[in-house]
Structure 1
Amino acid sequence: MNVSNEDLNELWKILRMLGWSAVTLIMLAPAVAMQFTSEVNWTASDFIFAGVLLIGGGALIELVAWRVKNPVIRIGFSLFVIAVVGLVWVEAAVGIFH
C-alpha cells in the first residue's frame, strides 16, 4: 500500500481538528464535573496550568507544522509533544516521578 503526501496532508487536517477538540473537551471536563460532584475540585490555578500546558503544546505543534511540510515529520513531532504533555500532566496530577 502506497500512501501519498496528499493523503497524509488530509490526515493531518483531521488530526488537527481532533487535537483542538480534545483540548477543549479536556478543559471542559473538570468544569462540568465540578457541577455534579465535590470530588473534582479544580482551582483557577489548576485551569491556568492545564490551559498553558495543553494550549502551549498545541501551539508548539502548530508552529512546527507550519514550518515543516513533510507530513510524516509533522505527525511524528506531534506524537512526541503529546507524549511529553501527557508525562507532565501525569507528574503534576499524581507525582509518579517524584
Structure 2
Amino acid sequence: MRGRVQDARRRKIIGSAIVILLTMPFVAMQFTREVTWTASDFGAAAFLLALCALTYELFVRRIANRRTRGITITGLLGGLLVIWADGAVGVF
C-alpha cells in the first residue's frame, strides 16, 4: 500500500512540474515579444516532457540500484536538455 501512495505522490509532482514548465513560456509571452510560442510549440513541449516523465517512471520501477538509477535519470535529463536546446535555437 505504501508503494502506491508514493507512486501517486510522485505522479502528482511530475504532473505539476510539467504544468509549471509549460506555464512559464505562456506567462512570458504576456510580458515580452521575445517569447513567441505557437500551439504546436506547446504541443511539442508537452509531448517531450510527457515522454520524459513516462521514461522516468519506467526507470524508477525497473532499476533497483539507486546509483544506477541516478546515473540513468541524469542521462535522461541531459538528453531532454539537449533536445530542448536544439529545438529552441538549433544549438547542434
The size of the alignment, in residue pairs, is 82
Higher relative contact order, chain-length normalized (CA < 8 Å, sep 6+): 1
Query: What are structure 2's unaligned runs of at least 5 residues?
Result: 1-6
Shift of 1:23: 3.1
For normalisation by structure 1, the TM-score amounts to 0.72
Residue 65 (structure 1) aligns with = 60
> What is the distance in 2 between the residues matched to 1:75 and 1:33?
32
> What is the distance in 2 between the residues matched to 1:50 and 1:72?
29
Bigger helix fraction: 2
Residue 4 (structure 2) aligns with = none
Query: What are structure 1's unaligned runs of at least 5 residues?
Result: 1-12
Deviates more, 1:49-58 or 1:32-41: 32-41
Deviating above 6 A after TM superposition, structure 1's stretches of 4 or more consecutive aligned residues are none
> What is the distance in 2 between the residues matched to 1:71 and 1:48?
33
CA contact (8 A) 1:90 1:96 kept: yes
> Of the candidates 45, 51, 58, which is equivalent to residue 50 of structure 1?
45
User: Is 1:74 aligned with 2:78?
Assistant: no
Shift of 1:22: 4.0
> What is the distance in 1 between the residues matched to 2:51 and 2:57?
10
List per-residue Cα deviations over 1:35-86 (Å, max 9, x = no partner). 2223211111000111111121121011121111111111111100000010
Q: Percent of counterpart pairs with the same letter?
A: 38
